[in-house]
Amino acid sequence: MSASNGLIVDAQQVSRVFSMPAGPVTAVRNVTLQIRGGDHVAVRGPSGCGKSTLLHMLGCVETQTSGTLFFDGQDVSRLSDSRRSLLRLRQIGFVFQRFFLLPMLTARENVELPMSEAGITKEARQQRVRELLEYVGLAARADHRPSQLSGGEMQRVAIARALANGPRLLLADEPTGELDEATGAQIAALLDRVNQTGTALVIVTHDLALADRAGRVLTMRDGRIASERTK
Amino acid sequence: MTALGFAWRSLVRQPARAALGVLGVAAVGALLLDMLMLSRGLIVSMQDLLDRGGWDVRVSAGDLPGSGLRVPHALETAEAISTLPSVQAVLVIRSASAQIDRASGLPLRTAFQGVATRSTDPEGARLRAPWTILRGRDADASDELVIDERIASEFMLEPGSTITLRASCVADLEALPATRLTVVGVAEFPFQTTNESTAGGTLDALKTACGGNVGHDADLILVRSKGDADGTAAAIRAQHPDVRAATNTEVVGRLQQTGFTYFRQISSVLTTVTVSFAVLLIAVLLTVSVNQRLGEVAALRALGFSRLRVVKDVLSESALIVGIGGLLSLPLGLLLAAGLDRILKGMPGIPVALHFFVFETGALAVHLALLVATAIIAALYPMRIVSTLPIAATLRDEVIG
């Protein structure tokens, strides 16, 4: 499988079954999906329909129980845990509903953390942190801790952190779920800007306004992609 | 940010929890250090006491010096031992009970040690008694003696003073003759116990004090070899099969097999208990800490932090708590040891110069090794939690929770 055609993720007939005490539960059922560079995809659907599980599979934190999933041409199921960690570190960015910023670190340090883990030099890290915090409009709050930031500001720091190592794919799980409408709109605009720079963006959301900004909107039901709408 | 830096920030984030862990380790570490000092303290201290003065072989009538049995014909035996080629000097020690008269009130009961040196070696002939002169000089003549600090302070005596002493070399019930002796020095007697007082002089001085009734026996014969203590002890045993000759190391070995074993056993049990307590304390603190931030750990893993990295973070946190607590435990342990030593030395029959707790680099090394093991073992379970953390399920649970 070649990645030369801009293809980042190629999922073919992927399913994810969880073993539960009451019996196996199929969260994602035979989903086929391709994500290319610059794609803007929104995944919608009712709670428990498998959106987040699909997102986690695309982000290589969950492995499929059947089907194949290639990331940048590599069969993810064949990668060791450390190789998948490295893949996530360098190619994938995650934005979470609850931000998950580290409370003991400043905004600057939170953004710097993935770069530090990737072995980037201190000078390069500092430069990149400045650029990213400026990009998300928080240069003035660089030395503030998460507890000193508003929800919207925390999510912007989280986006900057997700972009730290220049990922090809940015995955956002309900990025506006904890925010009010106006702040959510600001975050949506920021994500649009990220996407416009060529970073593929997959957003799982209940927020109709946020989903409507995407080029492709997938609606899931019972673990399947029930419909796909392309602008 | 390195794992250690990250762990430091995690600790600072919850200062109360960190302080609890550090103080707990400091207390447990102090006890641990004390147990390690106690396990060999008596042995090291006893070896040091025996080695003082350079006498490396002890000849006695019983299995252990101080058993109460006396070496018969001690001066002849010492004379014969001094002719052995490996022997530099021989010292005969004869003890007697004595009383020092007061101007008013009951006399002070004391021990009076008389010593005599035998040597064919000019350097050996200059060797003196096993006590250490603190002030003045050693007693040379039959009308001189040295006294300990207790006698000196109680009778306000200093070198140059005279005292009236009544010694009994045969039986306590005999009528004690009064002898006037000149104090020429104040000395420290290594095996003197807290409640005892001791005076010392030449064997002739003892003979004078006992009215010439000293007999031919001695409590102990000390021998200084020319370097081969084992060979000298063997030669003495061959020459005098009727007495026991043992090197200082052999004497300590025998003590180790008897009374000192209890301290080692107690210390081993308490060491195990304290280390287990430290492991449990740190393991509980780390487990609680890790469980409180499973979402953060899962997020870091999703962002690409390797399993090894998150494990290192937990291990570093454990190392920091144990490291800081361990450092604090050193002065705390030494202070505690000094206090406990003072209490234990208050027991009757314990030589003042003997210590139960002795600091050794070996004990420090074992202390450090045990703390390192504590940090690692305590971190095992929380490390397992983060290393096997299901990333997606945890992220999902955090959102639902």
DSSP string, B293-305: THHHHHHHHHTT-
Task: Identify the residue among B10, B17, B303, B316 best suited for mutation to test binding to A, counting A beta carbons within 10 A and taking the highest.
Answer: B303
Q: Under 8 Å CB-to-CB from B253, ≥6 apart: which residues?
A: none
Concatenating the DSSP letter of every residue in B94-158 gives: EEEEEEE--SSSSPEEEEEEEEEEE-SSHHHHT---SSEEEEE----STTEEEE-HHHHHHTT--
CA dihedral B137, B139, B141, B142 (to 10 degrees): 150
* φ and ψ of B195, to 5 deg: -95, 0
Concatenating the DSSP letter of every residue in B21-90 gives: HHHHHHHHHHHHHHHHHHHHHHHHHHHHHHHGGG--EEEESSSSTTSS--BTTHHHHHHHHHTSTTEEEE
At A154-199, the pLDDT tens digits run 999 999 999 999 999 999 999 988 888 888 899 999 999 999 999 9
Inter-residue contact A34 to A82 (CB < 8 Å): no
- CATH architecture of the region A7-103+170-230: 3-Layer(aba) Sandwich (3.40)
> For the ranges A5-19, A205-219, B113-127, B382-396, which has the lowest average pLDDT?
B113-127
CB nearest B392 (choices: A62, A114, A165): A62
Q: Under 8 Å CB-to-CB from B276, ≥6 apart: which residues?
A: none
Closest CA to B33 of B336, B376, B343, B345: B336
> For the ranges A34-43, B145-154, B253-262, B267-276, which has the lowest average pLDDT?
B253-262
Reading the block at residue A93, the tokens are 């960015």
Can you give the pLDDT at residue A1? 41
Q: Does B391 touch chain A (CB under 8 A)?
A: yes
| CA closest to B396 among chain A residues | A52
In this prediction the pTM is 0.77
At B298-348, the pLDDT tens digits run 999 999 999 999 999 999 999 999 999 999 999 999 999 999 999 988 887
pLDDT over threshold 70, residue B211: yes
Ramachandran class of B362: left when φ > 0, alpha when ψ lies in -120 to 50, beta otherwise? alpha
Closest CA to B86 of B54, B60, B119, B64: B119
Chain B residue numbers touching A53 (CB-CB < 8 A): 392
Q: For residue B367, what is the enclosing H or E element?
A: helix B361-387
| CA closest to B296 among chain A residues | A100
Q: For residue B359, what is the enclosing H or E element?
A: none
Chain B residue numbers touching A82 (CB-CB < 8 A): 306-308
B49/B354 Cα distance (integer angstroms): 7
Mean pLDDT of chain B: 87
Confidence of residue B53 (pLDDT cuts 50, 70, 90): confident
B242/B254 Cα distance (integer angstroms): 19
User: Would you list the domain boundaries of chain A?
Assistant: 7-103+170-230
Residue type at position B252: V
End-to-end CA distance of chain B: 30
pLDDT over threshold 50, residue A3: no
DSSP state of B351: B
Would the CB atoms of B1 and A109 count as touching at under 8 Å? yes
Q: Please give the ipTM for the structure prediction.
A: 0.90
Can you give the pLDDT at residue B124? 63
Residues in chain A whose Cβ is within 8 Å of chain B: 52-53, 56, 59, 61-62, 81-82, 85-90, 92-94, 96-98, 100, 102-105, 109, 112-114, 116-118, 161-162, 165, 173-174, 177
